[in-house]
Structure 1
Amino acid sequence: MLLAATLLGVLTLGGMTTSWVLLALTFAIGVGAAMNSPAWQAILPEMVPVRDLRPAVALNAMSVNLARALGPALAGLVIAATSAGLVFLLNALSFLGVMLVLYRWRSEPRAGNLPTERTLGAIRAGLRYVRHAQPLRVVLWRTGAFILFGSILWALLPVLSRNLGLRSTGYGALLGCFGIGAVAGGMFLPKVRHRRSTDSLLGAATVLLAAVILGLAYVSSFVGLCLVMVIGGLAWIVIMSSLNAAAQTAVPGWVRARALAVYQLVFQGGVALGSALWGAVASRFDLPTAFLAASFGLILGLVLTSRFRLEAGESLDLTPSLHWPEPTIIIEPSPDDGPVLVMVEYCIDPQQASEFALAMQVLRVIRLRDGGTNWGLYQDSSDVSRVVETFVVESWAEHQRQHERVTRSDRAVEEAVRSFHQGEGPKVSHLFYLRGSRKP
């Protein structure tokens, strides 16, 4: 982003910026922002205690919306006094400030002697976690249902301003009002968060934003629009801080950046898809129809996704439990040895087989989420009290990472499963392919 902004500033000052150059460098800045955003959000939990995470997320969202409101106004003043090229160079200078802060910030080193995950393997692990993590999938569903319709605010507000005869100053004033509402919402949130659940706050803010979008369809006075935008900023900050905080608290630290990248993909993809959709609707019909449809869509999305509760992720204790014992091995495998077949043998009361199988389905999701594949549960035909759980891990290093990924909430699930076991702890075996045999 620093290089792209600097190049854009230099080319603009030199009079060499064409539409294609502007699009290409804007695309480059967008790529940088897409890479930066998940990492930026992932380090928030390292900067503040857990109890302060939600206010920190709200403060971060408030600063983004404040910058969105003040940025165009400041840029307009700089352009009026100097030129557009200087605006781009000042933008590049801001990246230097961020880099300096990150350079001086020292995070606590993470203990561990496992090799670094390979890029493709890390991507697979992140996607696998998202696939099997129900609390995070709830956040993704709620985010998609919101942003597909809420994106109309940013897609058609410039068109609305133009149709009402507002110039750049008027449009900037509307954004400023939105920023004022966002700041007010950020200050308002901590006072009500202790009295209202996340889902109730999200629902109320969504209904309020739907009313704001409906108001954009019928309010034609500038003062009225400013008031509507203030309310919209308040509703937007409540929604965004609720979703961001839910995404942050739904995943453990080892996969947080990857999970938030998927969250950002859903959000930004929804913005792109929604902008194209509402632009097409406005072109085919008119602006009031588009705003009316989006307002109805927000309410419909809220109704359809309300059964997915964000509070489910708040009750999880994602602290690593580190309770798995070290495997008993004669010859130390290399990290890349594998795949590894893990077998866990249980001795249960056959009369409780159905209840045991149900409890194992919860554990199955945890195994698959943390790196296992080909999970299975088998009962010995010669001894019906003997039940064997199996799953495959791609390498010995990946299985060792499984040991580090088990959380305290996962441990509670394992203890519920082991309550069915009779005798000493279940026997755990680790099997490698015999050298010379053919791997499937």
Structure 2
Amino acid sequence: MALESQQAEPDINTSPWSPLRIRVFRYMWLATVVSNIGSWMHEVGAGWLMAELSTSPIMVALVQTATSMPVFLLAIPAGALADIFDRRLYLITAVFWMMFIAFVLGILTLAGITNEWILVVLTFALGIGTAMMMPAMASITPELVPRHELHKAVALNAMGINISRAIGPACAGVIIAAAGSGAVFLINAVSFLLVVVVLWKWQRQVQKSNLPAERFISAIRTGVRFVMHAATLKAALVHSFSFFIFASALWAMLPLVARDLLQGGPRTYGILLAAIGVGAVAGALILPAIRSRFNGDQMIAGATIIYALAMLVTGHLNHFLPNIIFMAICGVSWIIMISTLSTTAQLSLPNWVRSRGLAIMTAILMGSLAFGSIIWGSVAKYTGITVALTAAAIGALIALVFSYRWRIGGVEKFDLTPSMHWNIPVTHEQITHDRGPVMVVVHYRIIPDNRDEFLALMHELSRIRRRDGAYAWDVLEDVKDPVHFIEYYMVESWLEHLRQHERVTNTDKMLQEKIKQLLVDKKQPEVTHFVGT
């Protein structure tokens, strides 16, 4: 039975579960939860196996680095590929790779062959699959649910990760104690199968374009340029780095907290991870109520403060039950942070660049976790676990002070649906796609009293021009006629300019309508095109 994306009508239902009424999202969500249970079991198995193979805090932290570093290195190229090729087939390929690596690691571990560096290398290889999968998997959510359900769908995805975090580690602790880490690696390999089945049956609706697909290097450059000129998305990236570089300390040190501070074993480690998962699930359930009372900037600040304080207390506790409580508190803060930043990114990105934008965010998140793990593992080696967690907590609070000026409010008002309201340029001859550069000149005749407002809106428009492909932009005033202004911008080729026609959004159109109301005749300004010879 094929699974089709459904665009349900807007509903006043405020239930956090409402996206699950959409069949394709429900099946994908369930399949992902099952797969993530396997992944969390795998993470516990890898972390504990390394703790058994080596007593070095750096080697234990290196497992987290090997998981995160490939995402930091490869997420942006992976995002470009996911925007160029069919995301469904691309995801199926990535999942098969991860299944293969998990199976190999399981067999080697059960055979007693795995050592510290085999574990690190194969964990890195599995991380490559994660890097290829994450941007594409995140970017399909808006294709599975209507826009008015996106907030709740993102929260449900985060909840699903943490449901699996609550189940997987607890199961892994029992299985590792009974059968060893190799068994959980094999269970992880099997857990990917359901995702493959759902992706295979999903009938993805692809928006057709008459233009050729973007080239790989150009697609990466375009994605980076878009992010550089998307203010709200940049704010989300700043908050991601400033939080996760310090929050990574808890994840890197958790096996050592279980082993050294709490004098426990794999069950203790699994229960601590499960407590984080339970807290995150609880946080997801109360997230709609929190969102109704606080804006995104306030939620980021609150989550950072609570997480930092809980991490600080954890480093000074050697009692099991209080640590479980503080792990749950960390889970609540984590889900609020992840959901807020992920939703902001989703709502800031149009479909044509969504995988690349989310890939850059993922690279920053996972890079922060990777480098943070190395940093805090090194700190713990020379000063101890308590000092490392204390320093990380204080660092997170200081980073919040410096990053708070980067605001994410207002993203819910964005309508990034292509407006397609630009007229196709009239040319006296056929222009080849690779011909360039192209200079577009727009003539405006404004009401004199509107000059300041006009220039303010034009500089806002400049970010849109650059975001969608312009490498040069300016607005010039006629020295003879004070009501006459021209705007010009340049793009690399005729093809890139034609892509701009497809990239302009309804939100961009609203800005251009505001500018038009400041003109003398309130009509569409004259546009001329020039192309290199």
Please indicate the TM-score interval, normalised by the length of the shorter structure. over 0.9
Q: What is the distance in 1 between the residues matched to 2:241 and 2:111?
A: 42
Map of 2:532 onto structure 1: 433
Give the drift of 1:99. Answer: 1.4
2:95 aligned residue: none
Letter in 2 for 1:429: T
2:168·2:274 contact (CA, 8 Å) conserved in 1? no
* Matched residue SS, 2:192: helix
CA–CA distance in structure 2, aligned partners of residues 11 and 341 of structure 1: 60
Cα distance in 1 between the residues matched to 2:287 and 2:446: 50
Give runs of aligned pairs for residues 239-258 of structure 1, distance below 5 A. Answer: 239-258=337-356
Deviations 1:122-166 (A, max 9, x none): 111100000000000010111111111111110112222222211
Which residue type is aligned with residue 338 of structure 1? G
Aligned to 2:212: 115
Summarize deviations over 1:221-266 as a string: whole Å, max 9, x none.
1111111112211121111111111111121111111000010111
2:308 to 201, 205, 210: 210
Name the counterpart of 2:516: 418
Contact 2:474 2:487 in 1 (8 A): yes
Equivalent position amino acid for 1:335 in 2: H
CA distance in 1, matches of 2:399, 2:177: 43
CA contact (8 A) 2:135 2:355 kept: yes
Q: Secondary structure at the match of 2:209?
A: coil
Q: How many angstroms apart in 2 are the aligned matches of 1:183 and 1:356?
A: 48
Q: What are the within-5 Å matches in structure 2 for residues 189-338 of structure 1?
A: 189-338=287-436
Amino acid aligned to 1:61: A
**Counterpart-to-counterpart distance in 1, 2:320 and 2:175:** 25
The code of the aligned residue for 1:426 comes to: P
CA distance in 1, matches of 2:193, 2:362: 24
Determine whether 1:45 maps to 2:130. Answer: no
- Does the residue aligned with 2:200 lie in a helix, a strand or coil? helix
Task: From the superposition, tell whether residues 195 and 145 of structure 1 become closer, same or farther in structure 2 (CA, over 3 Å).
Answer: same
SS at match of 1:311: coil
Matched, 1:56 2:153: yes
Per-residue Cα deviation, 1:326-380 (whole angstroms, up to 9, x for no partner): 2112223232222211111222356654543332111111100000112122334
Q: Which residue of 263, 269, 293 maps to 1:171?
A: 269
The within-5 A match list for 1:349-360 is 349=447, 352-360=450-458
How far apart, in 2, do the equivalents of 1:320 and 1:64 lie? 32
1:33 Cα shift?
0.3
Checking the alignment, whether the CA contact within 8 Å between 1:175 and 1:229 is kept in structure 2 is: yes
- 230, 243, 256: which is aligned to 1:133? 230
Relative to structure 1, the CA distance from residue 76 to residue 187 in structure 2 (aligned partners, 3 Å threshold; closer, same or farther) is: same
Verify: 1:408 aligned to 2:408, yes or no: no
The CA RMSD over aligned residues, in Å, is 2.1
Q: Which has the higher mean CA deviation after the structures are superposed, 267-276 or 419-428?
A: 419-428
Aligned partners of 2:400 and 2:200: how far apart in 1?
Answer: 42
Distance 1:290 1:89 in 2: 34
Match of 1:5 among 93, 99, 102: 102
In structure 1, give the amino acid aligned to 2:441: M
Alpha-carbon contact 1:340-1:392 (below 8 Å) kept: yes
Does structure 1 conserve the Cα–Cα contact (< 8 Å) formed by 2:225 and 2:469?
A: yes
CA distance in 2, matches of 1:7, 1:220: 37
In the alignment, residue 230 of structure 2 is paired with which amino acid? Answer: A
Measured at CA, do residues 220 and 82 of structure 1 come closer, stay the same or move farther in structure 2, by a change above 3 Å?
Answer: closer
Give me the whole-angstrom Cα distance separating, in 2, the residues matched to 1:253 and 1:41: 12
- Residue type at the aligned position of 2:526: K
TM-score by length of 1: 0.92
AA aligned to 1:236 is W
* SS across alignment from 2:439: strand
Residue 191 (structure 2) aligned to one of 88, 91, 94:
94
Q: Tell me the alpha carbon deviations over residues 84-114 of structure 1, each in whole angstroms, 9 at most, x when there is no partner.
A: 4443232222222211111111122213211
Q: Residue 327 of structure 1 aligns to which amino acid in structure 2?
A: P
- Alpha carbons of structure 1 residues 102 and 398: separation in structure 2 relative to 1, 3 Å: same
The aligned residue for residue 487 of structure 2 is: 389
Larger-gyration structure (1/2): 1
Give the TM-score of the pair, scaled to structure 2.
0.77
Distance in 2 of aligned mates of 1:79 and 1:280: 27
Query: Which deviates further from its counterpart, 420-429 or 396-405?
Result: 420-429
CA separation of 1:171 and 1:89: change in aligned 2, threshold 3 A: closer
5+ residue gaps in structure 1? 435-440
Inter-partner Cα distance in structure 2 for 1:24 and 1:303: 38
Letter matched to residue 45 of structure 1:
P
Aligned-partner SS, 1:115: coil
The change in CA–CA distance for 1:77 and 1:284 in structure 2 (over 3 A counts) is closer
User: Which range moves more in the overlay, 170-179 or 296-305?
Assistant: 296-305
- What are the superposed Cα offsets for residues 195-234 of structure 1, whole Å, 9 maximum, x if unpaired? 3322222222222112211211222211111111122111
Q: How many residues align?
A: 434
Distance 1:91 1:287 in 2: 30
Residue type at the aligned position of 1:103: W
Q: Distance in 2 between matches of 1:13 and 1:167?
A: 20
Contact 1:136 1:313 (8 Å CA) reproduced: no
1:438 equivalent in structure 2: none
